[in-house]
Amino acid sequence: MKQDENTLITRTGLPDDLRFLLEKYPREDWKAHDNIEGMAGMWLQRHDMFRDMGRMLSGGIADYREGRQTARQFAGWFAPRLNFLLGNLDGHHRIEDEVYFPQFAAAERRLQRGFDILDGDHHQIHDVLESNAETANAFLRALEQDEDRQRWAADAYAAENDRLVAMLMRHLADEEDIIIPLILDRGDHTFGH
């Protein structure tokens, strides 16, 4: 059975038919465009924050696994950052699905399939977020147990976190490749901003 090429975990980028605005507004030209301030700039900043948080969590778990932090130090550092990421991702996806994606799709009907793909990504990421939270909680509980259980739980969480970060990085890049060129093309005023 052939896997869907648009599934987040297997996708390597957007399908060619959804890249027409990206070809007109390539990434390397975004910062110099007149419409980069406002909504487009805010979108990129928010996505950069998610990337930074993903890298921070990956680095933190690596520090713990390499013995650069004790279990207690790591638990105090880790829990608030993970909660921040999970909560902000959930809220960000909700507003995109409920407000922005419908506005963007209405502005450019040829991108509807792209917004459907991005919406599907959100559902896949949500499932992984739930699994990530469960694995993180098990990990935090294991920090009160013996070293073998701590090591096993750290390895399990690291694998779960790697999966989430990989999916998130693919999704953020693809979402930007659809949304930023659309905003640059139409301007904030098109979307009520």
d(CA 78, CA 56): 10
Q: How confident is the model over 145-167, as pLDDT tens digits?
A: 888 898 898 889 889 999 999 99
CA angle 30, 24, 38 (to 5 degrees): 35
Give the residue carrying structure tokens 């701590």.
150
pLDDT at 193: 59
Q: Residue 47 half-sphere exposure, CB side, CA atoms within 13 Å?
A: 19
Q: At what angle do helices 39-65 and 71-95 cross, to 10 degrees?
A: 160
- Cα angle 104, 172, 87 (rounded to 5 degrees) comes to 95
Q: What is the residue whose two structure tokens read 């090591």?
A: 151
- pLDDT digit string (tens) for 73-125? 888 898 899 889 988 998 999 999 999 999 999 999 999 999 999 999 999 99
Q: How far is Cα 118 from Cα 95, in angstroms, rounded to an integer?
A: 13
Residue 183 burial class via C-beta count within 10 angstroms: exposed 0-12, middle 13-18, buried 19 and up? buried
Q: Which domains does the chain have, with CATH numbers?
A: 18-191 (1.20.120.520)
Residue 7 DSSP one-character state: S
| Mean pLDDT to the nearest integer, 134-149 | 89
The amino acid that residue 161 corresponds to is N
pLDDT at 1 > cutoff 60:
no
From the list 180, 192, 177, the residue with the least C-alpha distance to 35 is 180
pTM of the model: 0.90
Higher pLDDT, 27 or 67: 27
Distance CA 65, CA 152 (A): 10
Per cent of the chain over pLDDT 90 is 65
Other residues' Cβ atoms within 10 Å of the Cβ of residue 143: 17
Mean pLDDT of the region 8-31: 94
Largest CA distance in the chain: 58
